[in-house]
A and B are shown apart, each in its own frame.
Chain A
């Protein structure tokens, strides 16, 4: 079937094919990514658990987990959402389904090769840009530029007059991602060294989060909440505020990741002030979404997509409160480089953005396959495994981070910190494993939806139908 679509004419490919391919790929990468995370966490709790295999060493697998989750799960779920939501909002078809299917195949192959090379120890040695630069270039030109082209052309060829908030974000974020990856990898292309390399590493890492993951996840919520509740977006003006403050404020605080490094002091102070200002887009986004829900809060209980999305939006509150303030000098000296930051990173990626994307994949797959969700019970199970697993992880790592911070400032011998953290390392492994198991159930549920889900009658929307199991 894949070959038929790859080689066939664009007109012969059913609308939504690219998005369906992307959705299932994303779920599989999510299982791989969280499985690797669980494995790595076990190694931190029980260091002699798997020994004797060079390639199962923690140092060779940690980055594979991070890159699988960011570029496999999160970014592919974004691509799936873009290929479904952009045409839906433009009242048109995707510009090219064939290009979309090709990008999906290139993405899976490029990412698999990239993760394999990383696993074999071929790394640039730069966090979040660990891939060797030939892989970066393959992903950039073989995957992201085609996806961007599809999104931009679909918006340009839309059959509506205006462009809705979600599509501003999609079009702008993927443009910014291309710029970030091009500029952020300059040290590898041109062998830039020293502080330039260190700063660009974190400029790249910060902006992947700030200009790609955060705004695209928010954009998805701007679509799913009004679409499923039937309420119009509370305020387009606040949407404007959100969009412009992301572009202006969120693109500047990269240096706050290096507050204790010898960078120019003005740059750190500037980044720190700008870092607090990310509360502007954050508050605009959360208030806009929660106010859109007025009168429909029953759906938070009754509808699985709304529950996932709103949980993600609610998790954005602690996320941004932490994010805005933990990078100021007065707090950063305590928690920098500790498990607190690891907890914060998982709050952003596994809490806020993942919950919103899971909802988008649930909803998008049902709409595109015209099938009602196979089992609400399994979806509920998935939700609680994700939420409980994530909460255990987040709380454990936050406590571990505070212990590490205290140990750091009181100059405790490091091994005592390791001993004190041990129970939290076990809790982190347990929480991560729950997330992994929940995702396996999710894949089964979506597979069964494709096969056995009740067909949605023409003219009906998915969320109007009652759940059956």
Chain B
């Protein structure tokens, strides 16, 4: 090999690149690996499930096999009224997030509590499970942890969904998949910046807010408002509906694309949505030929727009 005379150079190249890899990959990985989860990180991974980007369980990013977040006001076994809690329901065959599959991901304290008190290692994807986010104490320090209530209290996914009802069920997990697929994050960041943004977009996230989430979709090119706390600024489902159907209905200067196609072919009553007629009437309204804009159709409860609105409203 004629590389012989370049042996010193090749060795130096290998050494330099390895050193660079060591500093930029190995050392930070120790650091990042030791980050413990905040309660938000536990809630996020239980809301979004295994992965919100492309994965073999959801090849076309339709929001399949995702958990549901429900607001539970009654005990699913006794129907007794109880203090409302958010429960995270994984129907049978929905993939668990990293924190359930590998408790180490949750960070020191949370992992021990989740396994010992939360019994998360007894959960099975084949049968489905229901989880709660709790806080507990380990070695005298407080940590959030995940409780597998299917094991500790015998709540089954079906019973929880039935007692909660559709109105208290959020498809935020499927909605994040739609958020990724539709490329919302090319303009809307999910990262208020550390040196400003407090007043307008709210506080930046904490170091431990991301354990188990994938993809994190921070966004890099902000052409529109940051959405990390949008559900706290604006919690109106009706406003979201109008804004997604045609952003110019509520904000004439908006450059956001229309997401009317996420309604699908039919509305909540099962009637066909006539998009062409709607657009024609909207143009008339914009030109001042109509006093009121056309009505935005109500969406079906299993439509993609429902998932997306549930996701956006869940960003508190």
Chain A bound to chain B: yes
**Within residues 110 to 125 of chain A, which ones have a CB less than 8 A from any CB in chain B?**
120-125
Q: In the complex, A121 Cα to B217 Cα: how many Å?
A: 15
**Residue-by-residue, is B10-30 near A (CB-CB < 8 Å gives 1, otherwise 0)?**
001100110111011100110
Q: Answer whether A415 and B28 are a contact pair too, CB < 8 Å, given A62-B183, A126-B53, A261-B218.
A: no
Nearest CB on A from B214, distance (A): 4
Q: Which of A123, A168, A339 contacts B53 (CB 8 A)?
A: A123
**Residue-by-residue, is A238-249 near B (CB-CB < 8 Å gives 1, otherwise 0)?**
000000100110
Contact A122 B54 (CB under 8 A): yes
B1 at the interface (CB under 8 A from A): yes
Q: Answer whether A59 and B183 are a contact pair too, CB < 8 Å, given A179-B17, A337-B222.
A: yes
Q: Answer whether A125 and B217 are a contact pair too, CB < 8 Å, given A191-B51, A194-B212.
A: yes
**Within residues 178 to 229 of chain B, which ones have a CB less than 8 A from any CB in chain A?**
180-187, 189, 191, 193-197, 199-200, 204-207, 209-225
Q: Which of A2-10, A44-52, A225-233, A357-365 sits within the interface? A: A44-52
Q: Which of A63, A126, A132, A163 contacts B215 (CB 8 A)?
A: A126
B255 at the interface (CB under 8 A from A): yes
Residue of A nearest to B210 (CB): A194
Q: Which of B196, B213, B253 contacts A194 (CB 8 A)?
A: B213
A196 at the interface (CB under 8 A from B): yes
Residue of B nearest to A117 (CB): B54
**A-side contacts of B221, CB under 8 Å:** 337, 341-342
Q: Answer whether A191 and B214 are a contact pair too, CB < 8 Å, given A47-B254, A51-B258, A244-B16.
A: yes
**B-side contacts of A191, CB under 8 Å:** 50-51, 55, 98, 214
B146 at the interface (CB under 8 A from A): no
Q: Answer whether A195 and B24 are a contact pair too, CB < 8 Å, given A260-B191, A341-B221, A411-B199.
A: no
**Residue-by-residue, is A263-295 near B (CB-CB < 8 Å gives 1, otherwise 0)?**
110110011000000000000000000000000
A203 at the interface (CB under 8 A from B): yes
Contact B24 A203 (CB under 8 A): yes
Q: In the complex, A126 Cα to B182 Cα: how many Å?
A: 13
B239 at the interface (CB under 8 A from A): no
Contact A52 B53 (CB under 8 A): no
A15 at the interface (CB under 8 A from B): no
Contact B204 A267 (CB under 8 A): no
Q: Which of A75-83, A250-258, A435-443, A457-465 sits within the interface? A: A250-258
A296 at the interface (CB under 8 A from B): no
Contact B215 A264 (CB under 8 A): no
Q: Which of A51, A199, A264 contacts B279 (CB 8 A)?
A: A51
A85 at the interface (CB under 8 A from B): no
**Residue-by-residue, is A410-428 near B (CB-CB < 8 Å gives 1, otherwise 0)?**
0100110011001001000
Q: In the complex, A185 Cα to B175 Cα: how many Å?
A: 24
**Residue-by-residue, is A308-345 near B (CB-CB < 8 Å gives 1, otherwise 0)?**
00000000000000000000000001001111011000
B32 at the interface (CB under 8 A from A): yes
Q: In the complex, A201 Cα to B210 Cα: how many Å?
A: 14
Residue of A nearest to B214 (CB): A193
Residue of B nearest to A49 (CB): B257
B41 at the interface (CB under 8 A from A): yes
**A-side contacts of B261, CB under 8 Å:** 52, 54
Q: In the complex, A51 Cα to B245 Cα: how many Å?
A: 11
**Within residues 355 to 379 of chain A, which ones have a CB less than 8 A from any CB in chain B?**
none
How many residue pairs bridge A and B at CB < 8 Å? 224
Contact B254 A415 (CB under 8 A): yes
**A-side contacts of B253, CB under 8 Å:** 415, 418-419, 422
**B-side contacts of A251, CB under 8 Å:** 17, 20-21, 24
**B-side contacts of A168, CB under 8 Å:** 9
B139 at the interface (CB under 8 A from A): no
B251 at the interface (CB under 8 A from A): yes
Contact B29 A196 (CB under 8 A): yes
A58 at the interface (CB under 8 A from B): yes
Contact A247 B219 (CB under 8 A): no
Contact B254 A58 (CB under 8 A): no
Contact A338 B254 (CB under 8 A): no
Q: Answer whether A197 and B255 are a contact pair too, CB < 8 Å, given A260-B193, A260-B194, A336-B193.
A: no
Contact A425 B220 (CB under 8 A): no
Contact A124 B13 (CB under 8 A): no
**B-side contacts of A411, CB under 8 Å:** 196, 199-200
Q: Answer whether A195 and B35 are a contact pair too, CB < 8 Å, given A337-B221, A411-B200.
A: yes
A16 at the interface (CB under 8 A from B): no
Contact B60 A124 (CB under 8 A): no
12 further contact pairs, Cβ within 8 A, besides A122-B54, A125-B52: A52-B261, A122-B59, A123-B54, A156-B3, A193-B213, A194-B214, A197-B214, A198-B216, A260-B204, A333-B196, A337-B219, A415-B253
4 pairs of A and B residues whose beta carbons are closest in the complex: A59-B183, A125-B53, A125-B215, A260-B193
